[in-house]
Structure formats: structure tokens, C-alpha cells
């Protein structure tokens, strides 16, 4: 089943108020694209201002705490992001799994908190290069899905992002055959975990998505969009990716 594409930009720890100048052109491209959903996930510091600058483009957070509120210095809850008008939260990005020791159990708790706040959880999974070289990519990603996905989620509440760790920020991508195989496995896993709801969950590919490879990647079966890091920081690089999605 062809699902509406979602092109999501993850600004990671990049951007200041001056960077909001990029939003107008991204907004225009999203409006022109029509049947493509476009999201931007800036640092927490820019969410409110970006909400003011965007309309068609929806805004998300890059993480949340699993609690609604409490004594958790430096943390932000999904409810707080909802209060700002955000619609998505990225959870379980490999950089958080590595930098902050986040486990599948914690990622699932964050995804459940996101959904409980009325937002859409973008749950990230992906293997390391060593795991792929050892022939374990499918097992690793399957185990991450088993551990990280909230089993009661509906298709409207959940997005999965497959991001091979070795492809993030490196300029390297898996072959189209490898992406197709992994996304097919993820779809089967979604059906096993969520039942019929798994049919409608969008599966994004992430890892060195650029203007010159976006069309090829987005045309692969079960690639329902992209989670874009570096190339989402400027309209010059993000707009062509949105336009590529609009041609499919």
C-alpha cells in the first residue's frame, strides 16, 4: 500500500534564531508539494519560534522524557512539546542510544509518553557497521523493534525510522536492495507487533539522504519517507528532497 510520504528534518544540536531564515523556503516547498508531509525537528530552543514561522510544515521534538513532569533537571516532556504545538517526537535516535545509553525499554516508555501526550512517535532503529558486517543487521533491527515499539500503538500514532548507524553523516548509504530488504522486514515486524495497524505505519529511511539520492531511495517499496539530518539544515538542500518526494 502506498502511504503518503513524510520528509522529516532532524536539526540535531544545530541552529540558532538566525537559522529560522531557512524556514520560509521550506514552508513554500511543503505547500507546493501538496501530497507530501514535511516536518522539522529543531533543538528545543527553536521550537516555539519555528512554530510561528511554519504552517504547512509541522514541528517536532528530538527527544522527550518518559514522565509527564517532575524532578528531572534539563529534561522536557512530551506534554510540554504538545503545549508548544508540536506534533511529533523523535525517540530512540542512535545518537541518544549511544550518547545517553538509552535502552529499548526506555525508548518504548518515551514512545508511549509521546502517544499519551497526543503526539506521533518517530521511533528510530538501525544497526552498526560491525553488526551489518557480521550479517546481524536484520536480527538487531528486529530486536530493537520488539523492544522499542508500543504494541498498542495505531498507525496514526507511530512512525518508524530505519537509520543504519554507519550511514549517518558519512555520505554512505546501503544499496537499494539492502534498503528494500530491511524495510520489507520492518513492515513484516510491524504487522506481527501491531496487527493490521502495521499496514499504515510509515517507515522512513535515514542516513546520508541528499538531493542527489533522495528520488532513488524514496522510490523503494516500503520507504514511506526520509529522516534527514545534515541536508535538512538549509532550504537549498532540503527543498530538493521534498520535491523528489513529490514526484513519486
Indicate which residue of 88, 163, 183, 197 is catalytic.
163
100 is in an annotated binding site: no
The DSSP code for 8 is E
Catalytic, 72? Answer: no
Residue 144 interacts with ligand G3H (CB under 6 A)?
no
Pick between residue 8 and residue 78 the one whose CB is nearest to ligand G3H: 8
* Residue among 93, 102, 112, 131 flagged as catalytic: 93
**Mapping DSSP to helix (H, G, I), strand (E, B) and coil, where does residue 22 land?**
helix
> Is 224 near ligand G3H (CB under 6 A)?
no
Question: What residues form DSSP beta bridges with 160?
Answer: 123, 203
We find the least distance from the C-beta atom of residue 22 to ligand G3H, in angstroms, to be 15
The secondary structure of the chain in percent helix, strand, coil, rounded to multiples of 5, reads 50, 15, 35
DSSP per-residue letters across 128-162? -HHHHHTT-HHHHHHHHHHHHS-TT--GGGEEEEE
* Residue written as grid cell 508531509: 37
Q: Could you say which of 230, 238, 245, 246 contacts ligand G3H (CB under 6 A)? A: 230
- Site for ligand G3H contains 208 (CB under 6 A): yes
Identify the residue among 40, 80, 204, 228 touching ligand G3H (CB under 6 A).
228
Nearest approach, Cβ of residue 71 and ligand G3H (Å): 29
- All three cell numbers of 246, joined, read 513529490
166 carries a ligand binding annotation: no
19 is in an annotated binding site: no
Q: Residue 59 in contact with residue 40, Cβ under 8 Å?
A: yes
CB atoms within 10 A of CB 172: 12
Contact 227, 191 (CB under 8 A): no
- The residue range among 50-58, 73-81, 127-135, 203-211 that interacts with ligand G3H, by the rule CB under 6 A, is 203-211
Is there a catalytic annotation at residue 35? no
In the complex with ligand G3H, which residue's Cβ is closer, 15 or 116?
15
Q: Which C-beta is closer to ligand G3H: that of 106 or that of 238?
A: 238
Q: Which residues are CB-neighbours of 86 under 8 A, at least 6 positions away?
A: 47, 51, 58, 59, 60, 61, 119
Active site residues: 93, 163
Q: Which residues bind ligand G3H (CB under 6 A)?
A: 10, 93, 163, 168-169, 206-209, 227-231
- Binding-site members are 10-12, 169, 208, 229-230
Please enumerate, by residue number, every residue annotated as part of a binding site for substrate. Answer: 10-12, 169, 208, 229-230
Amino acid at each position: 500500500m502506498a502511504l503518503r510520504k513524510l520528509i522529516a528534518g532532524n536539526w540535531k544540536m544545530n541552529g540558532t534564531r538566525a537559522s529560522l531564515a531557512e524556514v520560509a523556503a521550506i514552508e513554500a516547498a511543503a505547500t507546493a508539494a501538496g501530497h507530501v508531509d514535511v516536518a522539522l525537528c529543531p533543538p528545543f530552543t527553536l521550537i516555539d519560534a519555528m512554530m510561528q514561522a511554519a504552517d504547512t510544515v509541522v514541528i517536532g521534538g528530538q527527544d522527550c522524557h518518559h514522565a509527564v513532569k517532575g524532578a528531572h533537571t534539563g529534561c522536557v516532556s512530551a506534554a510540554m512539546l504538545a503545549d508548544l504545538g508540536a506534533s511529533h517526537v523523535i525517540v530512540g535516535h542512535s545518537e541518544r542510544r549511544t550518547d545517553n545509553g538509552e535502552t529499548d525499554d526506555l525508548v518504548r516508555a518515551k514512545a508511549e509518553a509521546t502517544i499519551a501526550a497526543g503526539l506521533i512517535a518517530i521511533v528510530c532503529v538501525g544497526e552498526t557497521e560491525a553488526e551489518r558486517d557480521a550479517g546481524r543487521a536484520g536480527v538487531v533491527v528486529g530486536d530493537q523493534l520488539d523492544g522499542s515499539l508500543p504494541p498498542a500503538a495505531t498507525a496514526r500514532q507511530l512512525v518508524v525510522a530505519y537509520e543504519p548507524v554507519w550511514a549517518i553523516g558519512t555520505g554512505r548509504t546501503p544499496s537499494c536492495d539492502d534498503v528494500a530488504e530491511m524495510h520489507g522486514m520492518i513492515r513484516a515486524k510491524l504487522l506481527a507487533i501491531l496487527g493490521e495497524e502495521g499496514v499504515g505505519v510509515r517507515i522512513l529511511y535515514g542516513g546520508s539522504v541528499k538531493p542527489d539520492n533522495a528520488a532513488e531511495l524514496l522510490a523503494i517499496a516500503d520507504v514511506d519517507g526520509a529522516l534527514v539530518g545534515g541536508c535538512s539544515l538549509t532550504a537549498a538542500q532540503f527543498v530538493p528532497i521534498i520535491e523528489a518526494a513529490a514526484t513519486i
